Amino acid sequence: MTSQQSTTAVRKSGAKNLRNAAGGRGSRFGPWPVVVLCLLIAAFSLLPLGFVVVATANAGWDTIATLVFRPRVGELLFNTLSLVLITVPLCVLIGVGGAWLVERTSLAGNKAWAVLLAAPLAIPAFVNSYAWVSAIPSLGGIFGGVLISVLSYFPLVYIPVAAVLSRLDPALEQSAAALGLGPWRVFFRVVLPQLRLATAGGALLVSLHLLAEYGAFAMIAFDTFTTAIYDQFRSTFNGAAANMLASVLVLFCLLLLLAESKTRGSARYARVGAGVQSGPTRLRLGAYQLPGQLALIAVAVLALGVPLWHVGRWLIAGGAEVWMRNDLLTSLLRTLDYGLIGAAVTTVLAFPLAYLVIRHPGPVSTFLEAVNYISSSMPGIVVALALVTITVHNVPAIYQSSLVLVAAYALLFMPRALVNLRAGLAQVPRELDEAARALGKPPLVAFLRVTLRLAAPAAAGGAALVFLGIVNELTATLLLAPNGTRTLATQFWLLSSEIDYMGAAPYALLMILLSAPMTYLLFVQSKKAAGQ
């Protein structure tokens, strides 16, 4: 039933893409009000990058030289680079290995493992850090940084790779087997190369998270560019020093994007046939069943068991008293407030972009895609720094207002909304809209009753992911929130900084509980997205 519906919705050919290139009267780029709106949104999303570029240009070479070429920056560079170079391969190893065990071998309990390996994403990295510091108070340095990062971020590789593995056409593997390759050689020569895109995409996400993360590393006193920028800004409000560090950080992010797009090269996802395909072939583990299970148990214990155990331990130790504090309810409500408003604003802003990209491919939409790709890599600290500086200097009236915080959320999480909206809109063939118009509905009515209605589930999915991001956002919220504002994340941060681990535990639990359904949604969506 589902497959039939998807064939009616998805069937597309090259000839139709050509037709999609233009609609309406002489509108090569799309309806002009939408184009103007999109360009404004794009300009808005380029604010952080623009800020960094302008700040660097204004600083002058001497200032740059004194602020950038110093031992402190060398130390940060070393820390950040080693963090990325050690963490990313480990995440790829666990992510790809886990995905392969779950999707392609006779692993016992593979359905449960599939969910368990995605679940650590529901535990914010700084909550993970808090749990590990509770377990090993002396944790710190590069070892601590890598440990927490790997356990928090390997699902970012696991989820897309598992999705591709479960949808990969088994005919490819069967053909390889027919050409005389054994199961292991089939995996290395046929399956693994197909995972390149998903792995590279996941690795990019892990790297960007590593560059942007503040809370998890600050908690174990491991210095990276992001923690240094935050400290610099908080201690001295010294614009120039923080801005120069931010420039170096942004440079890193852009280099990562470049590296990832080089890895992608001309590779394409294997085309998954429209017809029903047989399930994936599973390799019999035999004697390897036990080591496989033990490895996954170790990962699950470290990534899920330890944080949940320590959050639980502090909750029990705190008893009912920690739940009675007034701040808990106000922070929860405030978090929900920001989450819902931010998700709504972000989705609304992303909609015209997604619409233009899907319905009017052309120079404008290509430009918008590029802008989105670049701005998606901007760390929260850079976004916050840019908005603080711009509002202080140019619009002091809105400095430290909720408006600016929501704007920061929109900048940070627009890519999440956009990815979902694009997928959703792509599922609504242009023919449906046209059919409605041929039935006498004006374009706007046709759009509302058909396209918008059908894209609504995707928009809701995107909004949910933005909500999840906002709930767990710490860096920008700390720097931009109006004075006295308490969210779950900031309050958790405040209490754990004061070593009130018992008081922080309810906040940790609430954040995990709010994140869990969204993580599941993300997991389910990734499986669907890989099939289409």
Partner 1 sequence: MTTQPHDIRQGSRHSAVLRPAGPSSRTFVHDSSDAPDHLEITDVRKRYGGTEVLKGVDLSVAQGRTTAIVGPSGSGKTTLLRLIAGFSAPDAGRIALGGAEVAGPEKWVPAHKRSVGYVAQDGALFPHLSVGANIAFGLPLRGKAAARRVGELLEMVSMDASYAKRRPHQLSGGQQQRVALARALARQPELMLLDEPFSALDAGLRVATRRAVSKTLEQAGVTTILVTHDQAEALSFADQVAVMRDGKLAQIGSPFVVYTRPADRATAEFLGDAVILEAWLEGSLALCSLGGIPVRMPKVQGKVNLMLRPEQIRISSGSSIRGRVVDTDYFGPETTVRIQLEPILVDAEHPRDPHQPVGGEVINIRHWNAMLARPGTELFLKVVGEGVVFPWQG
Q: Which residues bind partner 1 (CB under 8 A)?
A: 1-2, 4-5, 7-9, 11, 15, 18-19, 21-26, 429, 431-432, 434-443, 446, 450, 453-454
Least spacing, CB of residue 439 vs partner 1, in Å: 3
Q: Are 249 and 225 in contact (CB under 8 A)?
A: yes
For 374-422, give the DSSP string: HHTT--HHHHHHHHHHHHHHH-GGGTTSHHHHHHHHHHHHHHHHHHHHH
Least distance from partner 1 to the Cβ atom of residue 5, Å: 4
Compare residues 383 and 446 and give the one whose CB is closer to partner 1. Answer: 446
Structural element, H or E, at residue 220: none
At its nearest, how many Å lie between partner 1 and the CB of residue 363? 10
Compute the half-sphere exposure of residue 156: CA atoms within 13 Å on the CB side of its CA. 24
Residue closer to partner 1 (CB basis): 6 or 174: 6
Triad 124, 127, 128: Cα angle to 5°: 90
Shortest approach of partner 1 to residue 27 CB, angstroms? 9
H or E element at residue 154:
none
User: Closest CB to partner 1 among 432 and 494?
Assistant: 432
What span, in angstroms and rounded, lies between the C-alpha atoms of 363 and 355?
Answer: 14
Task: Enter the tokens of residue 446.
Answer: 């046709």
Query: CB-wise, 169 or 431, nearer to partner 1?
Result: 431
**Nearer Cβ to partner 1 (12/70):** 12
In the bound state with partner 1, the residue whose beta carbon lies nearer, of 97 and 429, is 429
Minimum CB–partner distance for residue 344 and partner 1 (Å): 22
Q: Round to whole Å and give the CA distance between 307 and 296.
A: 16
* Buried residues in 452-473 as b, exposed as e (16+ CB within 10 A): eebbeebbebbbbbbbbbbbbb
Mapping DSSP to helix (H, G, I), strand (E, B) and coil, where does residue 522 land? helix
Residues in the chain, overall count: 532
Distance CA 27, CA 34 (A): 11
What single-letter DSSP state applies at residue 120? G
- Closest CB 74 distance from partner 1, rounded Å: 51
- CA distance readout (Å), 119 to 158, 301, 304, 516: 11, 12, 8, 7
Q: At its nearest, how many Å lie between partner 1 and the CB of residue 429?
A: 7
Minimum CB separation of residue 61 from partner 1 in Å reads 45
Task: Name the residue nearer to partner 1 (CB basis): 22 or 516.
Answer: 22
Nearer to partner 1, 137 or 363 (CB): 363
Measured from the CB atom, the residue of 63 and 427 that comes closer to partner 1 is 427
Q: How far is the CB of 246 from partner 1 (least distance, A)?
A: 41
Of all helices (H) and strands (E), which one includes residue 310? helix 306-318
Q: Which is nearer to partner 1, 289 or 427 (CB)?
A: 427
What distance in Å separates the CA atoms of residue 151 and residue 198, rounded to the nearest whole number?
19
**CA-only gyration radius of the chain, Å:** 24
Which position has the token pair 């509905």?
441
Helix (H, G, I), strand (E, B) or coil at 105: strand
| Alpha-carbon gap, residue 468 to 66, rounded angstroms | 40
Matching residue, tokens 């004697």: 287
**Residue 313 or residue 441: which is nearer to partner 1 going by CB?**
441
Closest distance to partner 1 from the beta carbon of 466 (Å): 24
Minimal distance in Å, beta carbon 461 to partner 1? 16
* Residue 27 three-state SS: strand
Inter-residue contact 192 to 208 (CB < 8 Å) = no
Q: How far is CA 388 from the centre of its chain?
A: 23
Query: Cβ closer to partner 1: 291 or 442?
Result: 442
Q: How far is the CB of 269 from partner 1 (least distance, A)?
A: 23
Q: Least separation, in Å, of the C-beta of 133 and partner 1?
A: 50
| 3-state SS class at 136 | coil
DSSP 246-298: HHHHHHHHHHHHHHHHHHHTT--PPPPPSS--PPPP-B--GGGHHHHHHHHHH
Distances (CA, A) of 132 to 72, 152, 154, 305: 27, 12, 17, 11
The residue among 236 and 532 lying less far from partner 1, judged by its C-beta, is 532
